[in-house]
Structures are given as C-alpha cells and as structure tokens.
Structure 1
Amino acid sequence: MTSALSLRPVSRAEHLAFVGSRPSVSHMQLPSWGEVKPDWEAESLGWFDEEGRVVGAGLVLLRAVPRVKRYLAYLPEGPAIDWHDPEPERWLGPLLAYLKGRGAFAVKMGPPVVVRRWSAEAVKEAIADPAARRLRDVPETSYEAGAAGLADRLRRAGWRQAAPGGEAGFAAGQPRYVFQVPFAGRSLDEIHRGLNQQWRRNVKKAEKAGVKVVQGGYDDLPAFYGLYTETAERDRFIARPLSYFQRMWTALTAEHPDRMRLYLAQHDGDLLAAATMLTVGDHVWYSYGASTGRKREVQPNNAMQWRMMCDAHDLGAAVYDFRGITDTLEESDHLLGLLRFKVGTGGEAVEYLGEWDFPLNKLLHKAFGLYMARR
C-alpha cells in the first residue's frame, strides 16, 4: 500500500532547500515569485512523507474575488511534485483540502509535464505545408506516453483542462507550447552547428558590423523598457509596467544574485535590442525580449540570443528555453515570424500538459469565469 502524504505551509528556507535538491523547477514556483505579484497573496506549501521529509513543494498565489472573501488559488507551472506517481491523488487530495480550508473557490495549476515534441525540421515542414493549420494537428517527433495517463486520471478526479487558445503561447495563463534548445551533453560548437544557415550568417554579420552585447543591471531597466513598449506596440500585446520588471529584478536577484540577467545589444552607441534571462538549476529561460525597428540589418537579435545561449552553456544549462510560441501555422498569424526565428536555433517545439482547473465551488467558479471574460 502506498504511504500517505501530508501538506502544510513551509518557510522560505524550506521551500528553497527543496528547489535546490531538484535539477530545476519553474521560476514561477520560487518563493521570490510571490513578491513579483503584489496583487496576489503568496504562500509556500510543502508535501511531507510519513518520515517527515519534504518530498514536494509549491508556490500558491491567492487572488481575492471582488466583494467576496473567497480566492482563486493558482500554482503557475507547478507544483513541483512527483508527476510520475501513478496515484496523483496522493498529492492533489491534500492540496485541494488545504486550499478549500483557506477559502479557495477554485484551484488552477500547470503541471510541468511534457506531452509531445516536434523537431525543428518537423516544425519547418509544417510551416511550409499549406494544409497544416496548427502545430497540435501535425505528427509529433516524440511522444511522452505517461502524459496521456496523467491527463485521464486528472479528468476522472474532477480536474478540467483549460483550452489551448488561439495564440497558445501568449494567451492568458502560462504557455502550453514553448520552444527549447537542448544543451545537455552538447558542446557549444555542436549547438552552433545546430543553428540554421541564416542564423549562423546573421550572428557573423552582427559581429562584423560591430554589434556589442553586454550585461546590464537594475539601472538599465528603463532603457530596456523603452524598447519593450515599442515592441508591444509593433507586435500587438499589452505591455507590463516598468515597476513589474523592477520588482522582478529586486526579488529574484535578492534570492540568488544570478537568478535574473539583463542583456543589451548596442551598435555605435544605439541600443537596438534587450532581453531578460532567468536561471533556476540547469534550466535557463529567455524571459522578455525587446527590440527597435531601427538598424535591423546589423542583426542585433541574433547576436544577443547567441550571447545568451553561450552564457547559458557556461552556466551548465541542460536546456535553453525560448518560452511561448504560437500554435497557429498560418501565414496570416503575426506571431509566425517569431516562431520561424526560434526554429532557426535548431531546437524543438514542446507541448506541455497545459493548465487545469478544479472548481471547489462551482457557482463561484462559473461567476468568476464570466467576470474575467468581461474584463
């Protein structure tokens, strides 16, 4: 018989100690992430086995419903538990019971479980195929059999899978489709050879043109932000305020001095591109990127990304994560160009299990959904 697990709040130190015992967890499951989200109440939770050892941890964010003292409980890209356990109820049962006691009317989580992968070549062929409308409809290069079983068990237990959305990498919540470059066991030369011809040419072109990529700091965030708002207008997304990035920097670097980095690509004194990079264990994320429409011919974005990839390799990264991609393959999609850019690195498109909801109070859950839809 499988032993029971208990759950209770844990200290920041206990939470970080567990994170340090694993190869990596999402940056959104760190204690510091709660400080980045001041509109949410944050709490660290720990799972304990019968011998009192911490065997899982998660950051839960609690958002109060207007005029009602009830909460939406959210574990973005988490929790960090054993998702291969054939009995996920051992983990999720105590979580639901605790959060119900905290006044939650619904729980949302994002299991960090991979379902399918597509090689760069497979994605490239899909983009070129006029019959291919969405990545999810294209045959995968590899498939994680256990993910389907987990999804079935979650459904049977009452969890509901959130729809992927039209722009799956960029919709509300966390991206279901991402693009990653595997680094484990590969030399930097091998990673460079994995770039397509256009990428290698652009990196060389930037170097010959004199593009300089440097690391910035907190004081450089306003300069990054200027490019970021220009990018938001051009690519049609809603920009976060500068204070969000300042909170990110302060919270994450206080937790670990190298948790967050800022990179700036310059040419003859002009700032042309900038990006943030996050590191937890052996997983490195390209987090937010920004660029100007000026001087695109000197290829600052390729230069900046290659410098970030080199530094990630030096840090011992097992994977360089480009984060969200669109699931849509149609030429009319304004995000297709970004997908093409990422595919040029020779990595792979990855589909995660997506986000799941458990309504603890079905009436309030439905009302909250209607409220969010009207916003």
Structure 2
Amino acid sequence: MGPVTAATYRAFLASRTGAALGAGFLQCPSWADVKEGWRSLLLGWGPRTGPQAEQLTGAALVLLRQLPGTRKHFAYLPEGPVADWADPDLDRWLTPLLRQLRAAGAFAVRIGPSPAYRRWNAARLKSLTGRGRRLPDVLACEVDPLGAAVAERLRARGWRRCGEGGDGGDGDAQPRHVFRVPLAGRTADDLWAGLNQEWRRNVRRARKEGVEVSLGTAADLPEFHRLLRITEQRDGFRLGRSLAYYERQYKALNAEEPGRMKLYLARWRGEILAAHTMVTVGSRVWYQTGASADHRREVRPSNALQWRMLLDAHERGAEVYDMRGVPSTLDPDERPFGLLRWKLGTGGQVVETLGEWETPLSGTANHTLYRAFQAYLTRR
C-alpha cells in the first residue's frame, strides 16, 4: 500500500474492480478540494510492482486535520475506504492503512464502512409511526449479514462505533440513516407506481400548474443558496455551509468529471421556486441538497424536481437513487419527521449504514491525544 496519483485513483474508480466496490462521491479525489482546512492523502492497495490502476484492489481518500498545538492529525475517511469489506481477513488491508496513517502523523482515525446494516421498507414504516417511536423500536425488514459481520470484526479489533458509550447522538459526521430508491430492473412505469398517491397527485399538480424543470449552471448557485437559507429557517436545521462551499464543490466535482454535480431548478412563471443538487459517480446517484421558497408551495415544485431527477438517474442506468439522510424519529409530532414522511412517499427504503468508526493509533501519546480529542468533541 502507498500513495497514488489522482489520475491513477480516478482510473481505479472507473475500473471494473473499483466500480464493483461502489465508491461514493466523498471518496473521489475532488472531494479533497471541497474541504478547506484539511490536507489530503490518496492511497491505494496493490502489488509492489507499481501503482497502475489495473493493479489496485482498493483505495482511500484520507482527510487530515491538525490538532491545534501539536504536530499530530486526526485522519478521516468519509464513507471510506473503498475496499473489499466482504474479505473476512480485514487485517490484510486494514493494517497497512493504519501503518500509513501513523507514518503521516495521525493519532486517530475515523472510517465509514460501506456495507448496510439494516433496512426498512417505506410501506412498513408508514404503518408503524407513533408518539415517541423511533427506527430502532421497529423490527427491520432486513438485517444485512455482511454489515453485521463487519461490525463484529471491527469491534474485535478495538474499533468503536461513533455515538456508542454515552456521548450523545449518533456521533457521525455523515448521516447514519439514509433513504434509497432501488432503480435496477425497474421501468419508469414501475417508479411511477412506486410513488404513493400523494406524490403522484403532487407531480400531476406541478405539471398542470406549468412548473418547468431545467438544469442550472454555476451562475444559479447564489439563488440556490438563498433558497437553502430560507429552507433551513423554515424547517429548523442549519447546515452551516456558505455559498463559497457550494461554488467550490460544483467547480471541483465537475472539473473531475463533467456533469458529476448538477443543479436542478424548478421555475413557475419564470421564478425559481426550488433548486436541488444531484451527484453521480459510476452507477450511483445521490440527491444531495434541496432548497425551496416559502411561497407558492401549492404548485409542488420540489415534487416536480425529484420526479425529474429520479427519471434522469434511471435513464443513465443508475442502480440506486440515494436521497441521503433521514431522521430516526417515527413520531409525526416531531418536526424532523416531515422530511422522512416526504421521502417515504417515493416508495424506497430507509437504510441504516454501519455508521462511522474510530480508533486511536498505537502509542501512549496517541491514546492520550485521542481522549483529549473526544473530550473536546463532547464539549462542543
């Protein structure tokens, strides 16, 4: 294992092996250009004979954040590494990774294994909502055996799942519960039939009212960001991301591959009422961020956008349309439930990922720094 170039890394992701491992956009080299305040490493596993893409068996984008007052770094692999998690001998590739990170000055590492843990179908969850109820209270439709095995293997090696141990919340930087709409083997008519009655009615309403959906450009990002601030205030959440962040993301991802990040706009009588972003890597598609105005919501611009994005993802051969994070609450009286309810209407699945896992790297000093770092995160 060792450093690889961005070109080699990208070629690996596009190879048959890389595509089979299903890298997400947070493990693309371009993501390092999005994250200010972090330095990055691109690493690859493969034979010692050379770093050619066809020889690699796995790869990792590592973000390194320096701990103030020290020369040590916290290593973060968002939704990574891109590795064979089905390999029962994780040490075969995990040990070299930790060795590389220790040599880079990391005192601890956080990873985001790709296997799913549990799944709940939309139809099941709709019938099991109730006061005070949460996803862990509901028997899952499926427990992924690979996810369960990976969790046990990591625990046996001393890794800790973020949020366990009484530090509050789930502790993850990325959403642990996501919503995914399966696309493989389905027709456009199947997708339409999968929408619930309310969604179909709203898509028809948008069409009848003359809502027009189109692709935007970088020049439309300020309007997207303005609508996002309105959405945050209305729905009671705060992403805390600046316009510059989205401009940097749009530029970096599309420089890596044209069309990797798209901005969809919904206009009604010439006015932009909603704007959503979509990211594509290989056969995977993500609805990343959505924003909408407070007025004229009755013309249903967001439903029109999502239906168009679903169809576009299906047309390009995507296997899954990932709508990203959902809350774990099933209580209709709780404010965050509205987001889950909206996504459930597409007829997909709530997927609990394995979440993020951390471990300090060997050495007394590293363990001490890690404890101090955890105390800092708890206070924050």
TM-score range, shorter chain: over 0.9
Q: Deviations over 1:119-139 (max 9, x none)?
A: 111111222x44x62112211
Counterpart position of 2:4: 10
- Name the CA distance, whole Å, in 1 between partners of 2:147 and 2:252: 33
**Are the equivalent residues in 2 in contact too, given 1:212–1:267 (CA < 8 A)?**
yes
Distance 1:124 1:199 in 2: 14
Report the Cα distance in structure 1 between the residues aligned to 2:334 and 2:369, rounded to whole angstroms. 35
State the percentage of identical aligned residues. Answer: 49
Paired position in structure 2 for 1:46: 44
Q: Which residue of 2 aligns with 1:70?
A: 72
1:346 matched residue in structure 2: 347
3-state SS in 2 of match to 1:69:
coil
Q: Which residue of 1 aligns with 2:202?
A: 202
Report the residue type matching 1:319 in the other structure.
Answer: V
One-letter amino acid of the counterpart of residue 14, structure 1: T
Matches within 5 A, 1:195-234: 195-234=195-234
CA–CA separation in structure 2 for the residues paired with 1:137 and 1:92: 33
Deviation at 1:149, TM superposition (A): 1.7
Code of the aligned partner of 1:275: H
- Correspondent of 1:96 among 87, 95, 98: 98
Question: 1:305-316 alignment to 2 at 5 Å?
Answer: 305-316=306-317
Q: Given the superposition, is the C-alpha separation of residues 51 and 69 from structure 1 closer, same or farther in structure 2, using an over 3 Å criterion?
A: closer
CA offset digits 1:60-112 (Å, max 9, x no partner): 00000111110000000010100000011111111111101111010000001
Superposed counterparts of 1:354-369, under 5 Å: 354-360=355-361, 361-369=366-374
Q: Partner of 1:251: helix, strand, or coil?
A: helix
Offset, 1:332: 3.5
Q: Which moved more, 1:47-56 or 1:231-240?
A: 47-56
State how 1:169-184 maps to structure 2 within 5 Å: 172-184=172-184
Matching residue of 1:293: 294
Unaligned runs of 5+ in 1: 1-6
* 1: CA distance, partners of 2:47 / 2:149: 24
Instruction: Give the TM-score normalised by structure 1.
Output: 0.94
Q: Partner of 1:152 in structure 2?
A: 152
Aligned 1:124-163 pairs, distance under 5 A: 124-127=126-129, 129-130=130-131, 133-163=133-163
Residue 3 of structure 1: aligned partner: none
Q: Does 1:374 align with 2:372?
A: no
Aligned partners of 2:163 and 2:169 also within 8 Å? no
* 2:34 alignment partner AA: V
The amino acid across from 1:348 in the alignment is Q
Instruction: Provide the C-alpha distance between the structure 2 equivalents of 1:85 and 1:31, rounded to a whole number of angstroms.
Output: 24
In the TM superposition, what whole-angstrom CA distance separates every residue of 1:331-368 from its partner, at most 9, and x where no partner exists? Answer: 33211001000000000110111100011222101111
Question: Is 2:245 the counterpart of 1:278?
Answer: no
Contact kept? 1:166, 1:328, Cα under 8 Å? no
Q: Is the 8 A contact 2:266 2:302 kept in 1?
A: yes
> Is structure 2 residue 132 aligned with structure 1 residue 112?
no
- Looking at structure 1, the residues matched to 49 and 146 of structure 2 have their Cα atoms a distance apart, in angstroms, of 28
Q: Name 1:80's counterpart in structure 2.
A: 82
Paired amino acid for 1:332: D
**Cα distance in 2, alignment partners of residues 245 and 321 from structure 1:** 19
Give 1:314 shift.
1.3
Q: CA RMSD in A?
A: 1.5
Alpha carbons 1:41, 1:62 under 8 Å: kept: yes
**Corresponding letter in the other structure for 1:140:** A
